[in-house]
Structures are given as structure tokens and as C-alpha cells.
Amino acid sequence: MSPLSDLLTQARGDRSVRDVGRAVAKKYGVGESTVIPYFSGNHRTPQDRVLVALAKELSLNIGELRQVAGLPRGEREPYVPPTDANLLTERQRRLVDEVIRTLVDSMYGGEHGMATLKESGASIEAGEDQKTDPATESGGAVRDITRRITNTRGVASDSSNELGEAPPMAARRGGGKSEGRKRREQQDRDAEQDE
């Protein structure tokens, strides 16, 4: 038994494990065979979508349940982006989703069931003792993603053009380089020749 299974067993009261498993499967789409091991402590790394379903079915606080499972408390409600996010293209929204996934993976190891972050609607916030600089974790993965974002007339875009959209206007006109970039490179070459 684990602290998580102890809490779940206590919360189920007189209900059988199978009864709870069937209810979770029917209401929340989490398989009964996935839920049952959580009561005996024989589960793998807890998946957030399973914890959310169990918390709802057993009327437990999801933050406390996550904490007992050894995960960050996160938030009760799903993350809702600001209304300005409606101005982003589908491509830009996917990039924001990837930044969120990368932050979670770099801060919490990536395999805490957080790959289902988007599906479960969960959001993560590190406590003071858990905070790290995600840009320095995982080989700077967050920095790599954010480096791909450029600002062209106030619109975020993926300058590496990995998602199939045209590069910013300045890059299209100048064969991939803006006039300013070309000018700076020429100034650098001129300065090197003067030395």
C-alpha cells in the first residue's frame, strides 16, 4: 500500500473497488482495469487524468490527491487562455501548447501522466520548493522553442517555418534575411576588414 492507495481506500468507504472502478469508467472514460491498481498501490506513475477522475468520483480535493501521489498540486480548474488567444492562428496555438508541454516535462520529468495535460485540462504550478528555471532544464528545450518565435508587426510566428506557413514578410523579400540583418552582416564584414 502507498499513501495514495490508503487515501483512496479511506475515501471509497463501504463501496467496493470494482464499484468505484465501474463508476469511473462509465462517467470519466478511464478503464476499470486502470483504476483498480490505484487502490492496492500496484499502479505505475500516477496519471493525472486518472487522479482527476478518482477525485471527482470520491469527492476528494484534486490538489491534495496529486500531492499525496507525489505530483505538484496544480490547479482545480483547467487552464483557460486569455481571450486574446483568439487572435492566434491554429499553428501558433499548437506552438503555445507545445511550450506548455515542454515546461511541464522539464519541471516534472515528463512521464508523470502529464502527456495528457491537454486532455485532462489540468494545469501545473510549482510550489516555492519546486520551482526551477525550465530554460536550463532538458537541454534548454523551452529556450529552443521560444527562440523559434519572432515578432513581426506584433504577430507571433514560427521563424523556422516547421509547420508549413510562409516566413515573415521581410524574410520572403530578402531571400530569407531581412534588410536590417543583411546590413548588420555587411557592417560586421567591413569592420573585420578594417582590423
pLDDT tens digits, one per residue of 98-126: 988 888 777 666 554 444 433 444 443 44
Kindly report the backbone phi and psi dihedral angles of residue 85, in degrees, each rounded to the nearest multiple of 5, phi listed first: -60, -20
Domains and CATH numbers, the chain: 3-68 (1.10.260), 83-164 (no CATH)
Q: Pull the grid cell for residue 179.
A: 534588410
Check whether 23 has a pLDDT greater than 60.
yes
Q: Pull the grid cell for residue 194.
A: 578594417
The strand pairing partners of 152, in sequence order, are 155
In contact, 20 and 35? CB cutoff 8 Å: yes
pLDDT tens digits, one per residue of 124-169: 344 444 444 444 444 455 555 555 544 434 444 444 444 444 555 5
Please classify residue 122 by burial: count the beta carbons closer than 10 Å to its beta carbon, then call 0-12 exposed, 13-18 middle and 19+ buried.
buried
pLDDT of amino acid 123: 41
pLDDT tens digits, one per residue of 61-76: 998 898 888 877 777 6
Residue 155's nearest CA partner among 168, 142, 171, 165 is: 168
- How many C-alpha atoms does 60 have within 13 Å on its Cβ side? 25
Helix (H) or strand (E) holding 34: helix 32-35
Q: What is the model's pTM?
A: 0.48
In contact, 99 and 57? CB cutoff 8 Å: no
d(CA 91, CA 117): 19
